[in-house]
Amino acid sequence: MNQTISLHEHWSVSRKISFRFISIFFLLYMLPFPIDQIPRLGDYVSGWYYDFWSFLNE
């Protein structure tokens, strides 16, 4: 007798949306850190990133 046990858990739509939202939120929250450590590129990207967030907060 052959029985297979599925260890794959199916996620509901709300769980998938929540996971994606939280993942994107933390990515955007932490984003400038690794890039701003690069010498010339970091200043350019950090400036653009902070200008973008300032625009959104106005």
Which residues neighbour 46 within 8 Å (Cβ) at sequence distance 6 or greater? Answer: 32, 35, 36
CA distance 51 to 47: 6
| φ/ψ of residue 4, rounded to 5 | -110, 135
Delimit the domains of the chain by residue range.
Answer: 31-58
Q: Taking the model in full, what pTM does it have? A: 0.47
Q: Are 34 and 49 in contact (CB under 8 A)?
A: no
* Tens-level pLDDT at each residue, the chain (58 residues): 567 666 777 889 999 999 999 998 888 777 767 777 777 777 777 777 788 888 988 7
